[in-house]
Structure 1
């Protein structure tokens, strides 16, 4: 290979190596080291076109490795060959790498004459690019680089600067290494002081612990069994056993996973379909004791004419004593190909279908909702994938005391579930609100308002755990009050600083 092309190969390798900083490997120092390498590669690049290619290849390597769990999801769709899963990973990564490409292009444009400008420009542009990635074309916010610092003290910073702000900090940490290697001590000292100050950010004070009892159930029902004809009876028995085993005295909150009940729990069609749904609701609600609430994932079917199904919702049902339906939340941020098939008339004609069984597409709900549970406080909902979207997980006009995040990670392989958990931890720390996760095969967990995992069940384990509901922050965090205005402001300020310093460097170079 010619030397001229080797920097592009190094960019791809650096991005691929950085993916091992994400869970489940979790070697977080690899991420700042990878960004140090990216800064060096961009500094050696002679053209904007080369800088864009360098950033794109870095992102491509990171996404292809980090999103390998998507390939596993395709193995559960019998109509599609397994190898198509890896094609999907590569194609998605080809698109997602556009955002690192834009960040690299901005950093090179304004920072090519001065290393500190390169560092600041890349950090700011990266934060902005991650925010854009979360919103364009329905958004795919999975694996922001901040998620690699989920087990470090800097997780606390998200309460102030949010996830995208923490991503900028991770890039700055890589930039510090880059500046130290280049022996730019003055610039490195300034970045080091800024990073050290982050360790003194105050942690959110928590409200008084309520001591309210909870049970989180993980039935360990794999995707290969979940939708198998007749398996719903086995699943119902397992859920009931785990829910009632060694039942503690007193009222409790009982949490079941996404689509824990695979048969519809609401069906607007005429009989006998409505009666079947009534039966499923009654069977689940029979486990609700005095003062209890059951929060479970389920399916709702809608019908305009009481005969044909006109739509469906992926929902959370909340049952009180006596089977009373307290409320329902319908998932708003749906997964393309998982919960609906884009361009269905075209794609269905060539044999493509949803990765989950069913020919009816889910309909999106109205967005974050808070439901009052008398005696327990307010609960907000984020169903599965929704929890990854920073700044979009709560109704800010009616702030909940905790978030229930039922999920089905059973088809996400070994890498998806721990990455999903890491992103749920970011949401808890950002908002100062505990998050309860219940999944069919793991990882189910209770996350406190600082983003720390209090209790959990490992992957592919059937069981439950009893505990108490963690309290929220006594006051909304700074991020909870202002949302992504803060990290975006930080991102733009860093880019503006890069522009100013870059012009200074160019002036000195020309005089």
Structure 2
């Protein structure tokens, strides 16, 4: 009977952890109920305190992570509805399988927190805060990494951006768990440590914001959001419709001086660069069509595709690229996406998976090739502009060339795949990158959310999801280099490790 009672208690705990994980994801965009995220981590801390074993702690962390990822990543399933080669229901299978894998990192964090804190309440919450951030770093790094939705994103609208330049995104995740710890400790009437954590966070809050550096010249931006649905984007013959829509919107922008016109990822679906000899005429046509809206001193920066050929005849590969085009259609700079999306831009184990009917989600029979990493384009009249295509912007500490700090980051994206959940989550993570590096980020997407983000992570202007339009804006000021921009994730991990070791020390002192 005692064994049966323990068996039921374990499963009740797992169900509670799973529900708490679902609750935690409600703090992410587009729901944005951040107090639920805080409450969820307080529940997780209580569950970890009550479980007697390290194995039980790992199980609780895994079920918590499973709930969080199932809700937070539901947008991935939407992508499969645009792929004729695979059934749409397979998208939900993909979400479940990915969540099962990703939940291993919360399991590891919960295991580490229980090992360090045991049954000592203050020790446990410090260890959990540090271990959670370390787990997020590992999730964003191992096996190409998947850094989507760190818990820090739940705090993006809480005035937390002052902390990000000093501790980074993973450091802000530490703070999020500590805030949950305050609530948990108060509920347990451990008021002294709750007050000490509150004082610690308050001290971080008085750190100064990065100093903004006045530019040498004013730069006028026109950001174009054409509201082109993914179902239409690659439809035969739709390229001319898309071109006219992009042209009309680009012409609607201010024309009172040199402009930079910014189009989304793969706004031009036919190649803008092609190494095949017979493709020269088609490439010239696409470039000429793209630059029709440009004045004499304007620059177009657009997403597009470059095709590679070893022999000048067949296609040997492709790159997902950003092109800078002059008014006469010349390419003045090109950036190739480096951090490619598995199953989206390349199919892992293609020889094994393709014969059983699996394919990558983006159209095409061959995989994209990866570029060398963060690079700048030197744009006349502006200087260095950093480039990060779509998914690349979610990786803390890996978005700029640290030897050549750019004036702003351009983040064209194609969020048309990802329903109503993906775009606002993507935007929230771009805001964290802006605050970490103190560099403005300009986003252009086909269906939204396009935005101008300043060097402190604040949205200055944006276009809603599923609405065509433009943003006319002056380029925001860049900030002075931050502590994070100098040290990167070493800074965040040092902060997380300090909190984890504080938990170990508190447990030993209590013993």
TM range (shorter): over 0.9
TM-aligned CA deviation for residue 290 of structure 1? 1.9
Provide the aligned length of Structure 1 versus Structure 2. 504
Residue 115 of structure 2, aligned match among 62, 84, 109: 109
C-alpha contact (below 8 Å) 1:291/1:321 kept by paired residues: yes
TM-score normalized by the length of structure 2: 0.97
Residues 297 and 175 from structure 1, CA distance in 2 versus in 1: closer, same or farther, beyond 3 angstroms? same
Residues of 1 paired with 2:177 and 2:262: CA distance? 38
TM-aligned CA deviation for residue 250 of structure 1? 0.9
Give 2:3's aligned residue: none
Alpha-carbon displacement from aligned partner over 1:99-145 (angstroms, at most 9, x marks no partner): 11011001101111311110010000111111111110100000000
Residues of 1 paired with 2:234 and 2:75: CA distance? 20
Alpha-carbon displacement from aligned partner over 1:27-56 (angstroms, at most 9, x marks no partner): 111111111110000000011110000000
C-alpha contact (below 8 Å) 1:153/1:199 kept by paired residues: no
Residue 65 of structure 1, aligned match among 55, 68, 71: 71
TM-aligned CA deviation for residue 2 of structure 1? 2.8
Alpha-carbon displacement from aligned partner over 1:433-453 (angstroms, at most 9, x marks no partner): 000000000000000000000
Residue 93 of structure 1, aligned match among 99, 106, 111: 99
Q: Say yes or no: does 1:306 pair with 2:300.
A: no
Secondary structure in structure 2 of the residue aligned to 1:2: helix
TM-score normalized by the length of structure 1: 0.97
TM-aligned CA deviation for residue 13 of structure 1? 0.2
TM-aligned CA deviation for residue 311 of structure 1? 0.7
TM-aligned CA deviation for residue 3 of structure 1? 3.4
Secondary structure in structure 1 of the residue aligned to 2:256: coil
The list of structure 1 runs, each at least 4 consecutive aligned residues, that deviate by more than 6 angstroms after superposition, is none
Give 1:483's aligned residue: 488
Q: Say yes or no: does 1:427 pair with 2:413.
A: no
C-alpha contact (below 8 Å) 1:288/1:319 kept by paired residues: no
Structural RMSD (CA): 1.1
Residues of 1 paired with 2:165 and 2:253: CA distance? 38
Secondary structure in structure 2 of the residue aligned to 1:403: strand
TM-aligned CA deviation for residue 494 of structure 1? 1.1
Give 1:169's aligned residue: 175
Q: Say yes or no: does 1:504 pair with 2:496.
A: no
Give 1:401's aligned residue: 407
Residues 4 and 354 from structure 1, CA distance in 2 versus in 1: closer, same or farther, beyond 3 angstroms? closer
Give 2:4's aligned residue: none
TM-aligned CA deviation for residue 246 of structure 1? 5.2
Residues of 2 paired with 1:262 and 1:412: CA distance? 19
Residue 227 of structure 1, aligned match among 234, 242, 246: 234
Give 1:240's aligned residue: 247
Residues of 2 paired with 1:305 and 1:194: CA distance? 63
Alignment of 1:89-488 (within 5 A): 89-208=95-214, 210-245=217-252, 247-271=254-278, 273-473=279-479, 475-488=480-493
TM-aligned CA deviation for residue 376 of structure 1? 1.4
**Can you give the 5+ residue segments of structure 1 that lack an aligned partner in the other structure?**
none
TM-aligned CA deviation for residue 365 of structure 1? 0.1
Alignment of 1:70-89 (within 5 A): 70-89=76-95
C-alpha contact (below 8 Å) 2:325/2:332 kept by paired residues: yes
Deviates more, 1:136-145 or 1:105-114: 105-114
